[in-house]
Structure 1
Amino acid sequence: MLGRDFRVINYEFGANSGSENPYADGDWVEADTSPQMAPATIDFGNKPERRSGQGNGVQVEQDAVIYLQQGSVDVKPGSGDKKRATEFIDTEVGSEYRAIAVEEQLHLTAIHVEEI
């Protein structure tokens, strides 16, 4: 069932983004372990789900759920300025997704994603 290949990309913050200027702002760069390939399946469900963010009233649209074997790759949802979410690229069709929530299940990890 996990027969679709996804490129999984994690990011880390590069403090000076390769600039010689010590005052330059940093930028997100791919982690040394990225990209990784992982077999997965994607479920689009019947319709997108909208949920309110905690305390800020932001609406988040859930476009799909990607299911991976537990422990196959490191997945992180984004949170503010301190962490950039894991991104997935469907190698079959080229669609790109960003993790918004991670849920551990019995043998699978369910990653709620939004298309980017």
Structure 2
Amino acid sequence: MTAPGQAAIARAHSMLGRDFRVINYEFEANCGGENPYADGDWVEADISPQVAPATIDFGHEPERRSGQGNGVQVEQDAVIYLQQGSVDIQPGTGDEERATEFVDIEVGSEYRAVAVEEQLHLTAVHVEEI
């Protein structure tokens, strides 16, 4: 696609999207302080948080589960679409890497990246609500 076409897609995406706070984490082994048994902790990376315009597609009905005395818990999976290269995304792989988290600034919902799919001009981030 031509540069003017890409610019038009970027402009439309930012106009139709909402702002998400994007948070990446890194493992800090020295967070234990005086405690010799502490293994460290995940802390926000120096580049976090970032704010990026994105659109979100829920695609299906939310899943409802019994909360064992806490009422009904509603979990919503979705796909967040971002401009390619606008922010770094980490889907998280076991103990080696903590997944990128998204906070919908408008409503306060929080999501964790599960998988990342590069599309023609957008990055599709499959997320689960946390």
Question: Normalized against structure 2, the TM-score is what?
Answer: 0.74
Structure ID, larger Rg: 2
Question: Can you list the C-alpha shifts for 1:6-32, whole angstroms capped at 9, x where unaligned?
Answer: 000000000021514455211000000
Corresponding residue to 1:74 among 88, 102, 106: 88
| Identity over aligned pairs, percent | 83
Corresponding residue to 1:27 among 36, 41, 50: 41
Whether the 8 Å contact between 2:81 and 2:123 is mirrored in structure 1 is yes
2:114 is the counterpart of 1:97: no
Corresponding residue to 2:51 among 37, 56, 67: 37
Question: How many residue pairs align between the two structures?
Answer: 105
Q: Which runs of 4+ in 1 moved over 6 A?
A: none
Question: Can you list the C-alpha shifts for 1:75-116, whole angstroms capped at 9, x where unaligned?
Answer: 010111110000000000000000000000000000000000
Higher strand share: 1
Structure 2: runs of 5 or more not aligned: 1-12, 64-74
2:28 is the counterpart of 1:14: yes
Structure 1: runs of 5 or more not aligned: 50-60
Higher helix share: 2
Whether the 8 Å contact between 1:16 and 1:22 is mirrored in structure 2 is no
Which amino acid in structure 1 is aligned with residue 124 of structure 2?
A
